[in-house]
Structures are given as structure tokens and as C-alpha cells.
């Protein structure tokens, strides 16, 4: 033991005292964060955040208070599909595929790092309203269809990276060739 060593004298090496100091700082920091967050909310939205239990709950309350009236002004209705069609449309909701590639650049070019795709996507049109089932021909789909669809597609078989993913046997894959899946229309439209 070296009483003069600053590391050994650190209260964090004493488990009980360190823990006490840690959780005290933890609750103070949490208090400051919450009050600051509520202060910011107060300056921008007329809601009472105390009625919510979580940050997503506050976001949903804010949307229903501020954004939904704007949709209603345009005679647009938003339905709660969480207890009816949610399992159906969730089939088209796939996570990102985490694959490790080793990109290389031959000659002159640019590397891009794309981020914030989720908030970017949230600024784009989304399907709303009551779901209506229709049967489409490929031409009708290519014209102006916007929504979710079950489709049989042909993906290039020799691409470097597959772009259209499906869930197969519990796994996400981006196959080449002909396969069937449940997609959001803007995915096959963009590919």
C-alpha cells in the first residue's frame, strides 16, 4: 500500500464509498438532464411531459399535439394498426444487415460515409390511411403504386452487394435471382 498514491486514494477504489459517490452523481446528473429536457420541451411544445413515462412517450404526445392536427387539416387520418395489421406490415420491416466488407478504390474516386438515414427517411412520405388490398400488374406497380406489396422479383445474380433483403428461415439475406418477399414499394422502386 502506498498512501501517497493518488490512484489508491481515489474513492472509486473503495467499493462502498465509490459506489455511494457514483450513484449520488448519477441521480444528480439525471435530475439535471430531465429538468433541462423539460425546460426545452416547454419552450417549444405545449404539453405536460409529466404525463409520460418515457422519452418515446413524450415524442408521441408531441406528435399527436403538434403534427397530427396538421394532417387533419388536410383531411388525412392516421389509424392505429398496432392491434390489427401490425404483424402483417412488420414482415416488411427488416433490420439492417451488418456485413463486413473491405472496400477498395481503384483509380480516382470518393469515399462516402452515410449517416442519419433514419431521420432522413422520416422526412419522406409514408403510407397512411386504412389499408386497402389491391392486385397489381408490374406496369401498374411501376406507374404510381405506393404502399406495401408481396412481389416476386428478379435480382441481378452477379451484383457485388445485394440490395433487396428478405427474411428467410429467421435470417436476413439479400439473394440474387428470383425470389418472393414482402416489401415497402419504395425499396423495389429505387433499385
Q: Contact 171/96 with Cβ under 8 angstroms?
A: no
**Smallest gap from residue 116 Cβ to another protein (A):** 19
Site string for another protein, 38-67 (x = CB under 8 A): xx-xx--xxxxxxxxxx-xx--xx--xx--
Site for another protein in 83-142 (CB under 8 A): 83-85, 87-88, 90-92, 94-99, 101, 129-133
Of 127, 147, 128, 129, the closest CA to residue 188 belongs to: 147
Report the SS3 class of residue 27: helix
**Smallest gap from residue 103 Cβ to another protein (A):** 13
Q: What is the DSSP letter of 66?
A: I
Q: Contact 176/167 with Cβ under 8 angstroms?
A: no
Is residue 30 a contact point for another protein (CB under 8 A)? Answer: yes
Using the rule CB under 8 A, give the single segment among 102-110, 111-119, 136-144, 150-158 that binds another protein.
150-158
Given the complex with another protein, which of 1 and 134 has the nearer CB atom? 134
Is residue 153 a contact point for another protein (CB under 8 A)? Answer: no
Cα–Cα distance for residue pair 176/161, rounded to 1 Å: 9
Amino acid at each position: 500500500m502506498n498512501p501517497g498514491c493518488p490512484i489508491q486514494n481515489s474513492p472509486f477504489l473503495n467499493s462502498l464509498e465509490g459506489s455511494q459517490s457514483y450513484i449520488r452523481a448519477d441521480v444528480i446528473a439525471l435530475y439535471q438532464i430531465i429538468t433541462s429536457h423539460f425546460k426545452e420541451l416547454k419552450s417549444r411544445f405545449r404539453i405536460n411531459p409529466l404525463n409520460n413515462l418515457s422519452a418515446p412517450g413524450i415524442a408521441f404526445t408531441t406528435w399527436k399535439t403538434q403534427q397530427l392536427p396538421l394532417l387533419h387539416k388536410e383531411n388525412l387520418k392516421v389509424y392505429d394498426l398496432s392491434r390489427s395489421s401490425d404483424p402483417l406490415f412488420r414482415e416488411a420491416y427488416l433490420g439492417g444487415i451488418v456485413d463486413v466488407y473491405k472496400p477498395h478504390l481503384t483509380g480516382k474516386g470518393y469515399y462516402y460515409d452515410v449517416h442519419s438515414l433514419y431521420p432522413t427517411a422520416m422526412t419522406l412520405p409514408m403510407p397512411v390511411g386504412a389499408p386497402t388490398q389491391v392486385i397489381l400488374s408490374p406496369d401498374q406497380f411501376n406507374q404510381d403504386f405506393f404502399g406495401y406489396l408481396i412481389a416476386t422479383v428478379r435480382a441481378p445474380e452477379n451484383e457485388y452487394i445485394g440490395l433487396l433483403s428478405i427474411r428467410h428461415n429467421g435470417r436476413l439475406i439479400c439473394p440474387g435471382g428470383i425470389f418472393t418477399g414482402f416489401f415497402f414499394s419504395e425499396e423495389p422502386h429505387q433499385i
